[in-house]
A and B are shown apart, each in its own frame.
Chain A
Amino acid sequence: MHIHIGGHPEPSVNDIIQLANVNAITNSGYTTEFVVNENGEKYAIVIIDAGKAVNFYNAYKNSYAAPGVWYTDTKIGRKFYDIKNLLMLRDHQSELNAHMLAQAYILKEFKSGISLLQQQPDGTFHEVHQQVIKHRNSDPTFITTICP
């Protein structure tokens, strides 16, 4: 577990890549990382498919820069910032929310084998699932689901 002071509250790109890396190298069963922010919000990233996490790590380990941002000129960076922007402009999400939801979207869309979980008011952690339904010649639909 670690604490994020300032910045975005949810697990960063750095947290995600490092979790995948440690799990791949040590095969230790280290599958979960908790992040607490200064407002007391809690998130977790959990490896749900170790094989996919290794593939994700190998495919995108060079697509991010410390302290944890996707390079803007990479495939995954383009998708991340495009989706974050769409969530702000068309789904009227705040910047912080859009950032977190875009991260959840990327984890799913790029088959990372990793899920982003957010602590709910009752104390339990649930997966955040962000979908973007594409429509030809009309606006996309955004569906945010907190999985049971």
Chain B
Amino acid sequence: MKNISALAFTFEIKSNGIANFNTKPPFDTLQWVQNNIISNKQNFIGGNFTALLNTLPIPLKSYYTISPENTINSCTAIGVSFLPSFEADPDNYPPGMFLVTLIIVWQTPIPLSECVEIGKITKGNWTGSENQFYGNRIIADILLVDFTR
């Protein structure tokens, strides 16, 4: 019985990114994201982020801004996860298990100072402030982090 419980638990982490001990079949976040977001990303590109947020079956919990080397002081994208900020760390998972992280690339880069101002208050947790601030931004591309690369 112990073995069965352990197996159910690890499967739950891998597929959901959220661990719980209930016995109903786990919701597979990765598969859902691949089927509904990545495979259909043309439906979201060119639209605002709110449209994508409204389709998510579970709410976002954390995010990080992406300001690459060649675009100082600009946030060109954000990475979003379904776990709280500090726990959304793939290093916390056993080998072979990974975390669903979506990269949302903006059509127009956002001044990084504005993103940091909000982020310092919410500490990287996804809240109503982020919904409001990022919701009307237009999506240029959507990527799924591949932890094997």
Contacts and interface: CB of A to CB of B under 8 A. Distances in A.
A64 to B, nearest CB: 10
Interface stretch (A45-53, A85-93, A123-131): A85-93
Contacts of A41: none
Given A72-B66, A134-B89, A88 B116 contact: yes
Given A74-B146, A78-B79, A69 B70 contact: yes
Nearest to B112: A95
Contact of B64 (A6, A68, A82): A82
Interface residues of A, number: 34
A89 B70 contact: no
A73 interface: yes
A68 B69 contact: yes
B72 interface: yes
Contacts of A74: 145-146, 149
A45 to B, nearest CB: 15
Contact of A95 (B73, B77, B79, B90): B73
A99 interface: yes
Interface in B88-141: 88-90, 92, 101, 103, 105, 112, 116, 119-120, 123-124
B10 interface: no
Nearest to A135: B86
A73 B86 contact: no
B119 A89 contact: yes
Interface stretch (A7-15, A17-25, A27-35, A112-120): A7-15
Contacts of B88: 82
Contacts of A99: 67, 69
B148 interface: yes
A73 B145 CA distance: 4
B59 interface: no
Interface in A47-69: 62-63, 67-69
A80 to B, nearest CB: 9
Given A88-B119, A90-B123, A134-B86, A96 B72 contact: yes
Closest 9 CB pairs between A and B?
A: A85-B64, A73-B143, A69-B68, A74-B149, A89-B119, A75-B147, A81-B66, A82-B64, A69-B69
10 contacts: A7-B70, A8-B72, A73-B143, A73-B146, A74-B146, A81-B65, A82-B64, A89-B124, A139-B123, A140-B86
Interface of A: 6-8, 12-13, 62-63, 67-69, 71-75, 77-79, 81-82, 84-86, 88-90, 92, 95-96, 99, 134-135, 139-140
